[in-house]
């Protein structure tokens, strides 16, 4: 039993008239009748109950009607999906930090390149804090970014991974004072190396405000990698995403402070504009990322 036979059967089942069905299927009445007879012989069940005036479906015909519709819908969906995959072409620009390029994108980029070889990929690197702005300005199709706390007008965000924020200090003993108050890192006295802007800075500022603490900021820098480098040199205590530290060449020269405040973690993922998401090349990358997301 093939798809053509199922289509012929459905036409008869819907029209309930062999003559009109043969015209709709562009078949002679005898050819249509032979097709239905072959199907009935294969199933060993009558599909239609016929008399001189009416044609109705038998119980077996009702079951086959449901099956035939499902089968043909699945086939049409498969054809449409494969046709869409073949038409994904053009270009796709992606913005990410160096850390994201090394840790979050390799498998995703490789899967996309294999599945859509006709798409020209353009990868740009820069500060993570600029990721959303790059999308909003229209300079980039997609960006890897931390999920923003505030409103995100016209921006779509897809979480991929959750990353804790951690406090770090120099590994060398005595390189910097790490004061403690009530078994917790005292942020009013500890010399702090902080990012000038960005989500981690806003999270820390909010925590300090809630606890009515005036911080001892000794240095403000641009970029998480720069914070690790400054902490390594003994300039103070810093705060960075755990993933950045794991990828840093200086990771063995600093220590994570277990007695530090616990801040809300990052949710890192893809962001793009609603308009960009309508483009086949962007939508295809988005769907691949959804399949690999570890955020429930």
Secondary structure (DSSP) of the chain: --HHHHHHHHHHHHH--HHHHHHHTT--HHHHHHHHHHHHHHHTS--EEE-SS-EEE-HHHHHHHHHHHHHHHHHHHHHHHHHHHHH--EEEEEEE-HHHHHHTSHHHHHHHHHH-TTEEEEEEE--GGGHHHHHHTTS-SEEEEEPPSS--TTEEEEEEEEE-EEEEEESSTTSS---EETTEE-TTTSEEEEESSSHHHHHHHHHHHHTT---EEEEEESSHHHHHHHHHTTS-EEEEEHHHHHH-TTGGGEEE-TTSPPPPPEEEEEEEETTGGGSHHHHHHHHHHHHH----
- B/e letters for 189-224, b = 16+ CB within 10 Å, e = fewer, are ebbbbbbeebbbeebbeebbeeeeeebbeebebebb
pLDDT for position 266: 84
Torsion of CA 183, 184, 187, 191, to 10 degrees: 70
Digit-by-digit pLDDT tens for the chain (296 residues) are 788 999 999 999 989 999 999 998 989 999 999 999 999 999 999 999 988 788 899 999 999 999 998 888 888 777 766 666 557 878 899 999 888 888 888 989 999 999 888 888 999 998 887 888 888 888 889 999 888 776 666 788 998 889 999 999 999 877 788 889 888 899 999 999 999 988 889 999 999 999 999 999 999 998 888 999 999 999 999 999 998 899 899 999 999 999 999 998 988 899 999 888 888 899 999 999 988 776 65
The model's pTM is 0.60
pLDDT for position 84: 60
- B/e letters for 268-278, b = 16+ CB within 10 Å, e = fewer, are bbbbbbeebbe
pLDDT for position 152: 65
Q: If 0-12 CB within 10 Å is exposed, 13-18 middle and 19+ buried, where does residue 150 land?
A: exposed
What is d(CA 176, CA 165) in angstroms, rounded to the nearest whole number?
A: 20
Q: Give the pair of three-digit tokens for residue 113.
A: 């390149």
pLDDT for position 72: 86
pLDDT for position 126: 86
């Amino acid at each position: 039993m093939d798809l053509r036979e199922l289509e012929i059967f459905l036409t008869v089942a819907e029209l309930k008239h062999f003559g009109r069905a043969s015209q709709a299927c562009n078949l002679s009445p005898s050819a249509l009748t032979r097709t239905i007879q072959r199907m009935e012989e294969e199933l060993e069940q009558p599909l239609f109950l016929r008399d001189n005036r009416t044609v109705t479906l038998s119980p077996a015909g009702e079951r086959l009607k449901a099956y035939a519709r499902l089968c043909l819908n699945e086939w049409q969906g498969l054809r449409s999906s494969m046709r869409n995959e073949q038409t994904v072409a053009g270009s796709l620009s992606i913005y990410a930090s160096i850390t994201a390029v090394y840790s979050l994108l390799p498998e995703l980029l490789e899967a996309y390149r294999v599945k859509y070889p006709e798409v020209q990929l353009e990868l740009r690197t820069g500060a993570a804090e600029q990721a959303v702005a790059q999308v909003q300005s229209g300079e980039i199709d997609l960006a890897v970014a931390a999920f923003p706390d505030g409103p995100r007008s016209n921006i779509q965000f897809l979480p991929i991974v959750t990353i804790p924020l951690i406090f770090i200090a120099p590994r060398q003993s005595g390189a910097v004072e790490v004061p403690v108050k009530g078994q917790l890192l005292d942020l009013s006295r500890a010399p702090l190396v902080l990012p000038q802007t960005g989500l981690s800075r806003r999270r820390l500022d909010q925590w300090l405000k809630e606890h009515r603490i005036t911080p001892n900021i000794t240095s403000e820098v641009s970029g998480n990698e720069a914070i690790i480098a400054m902490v390594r040199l003994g300039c103070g205590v810093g705060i960075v995403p755990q993933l950045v530290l794991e990828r840093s060449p200086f990771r063995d020269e600093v220590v994570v402070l277990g007695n530090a405040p616990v801040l809300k973690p990052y949710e890192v993922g893809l962001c793009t504009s609603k308009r960009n998401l309508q483009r086949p090349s962007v939508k295809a990358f988005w769907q691949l990322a959804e399949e690999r997301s570890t955020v429930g």
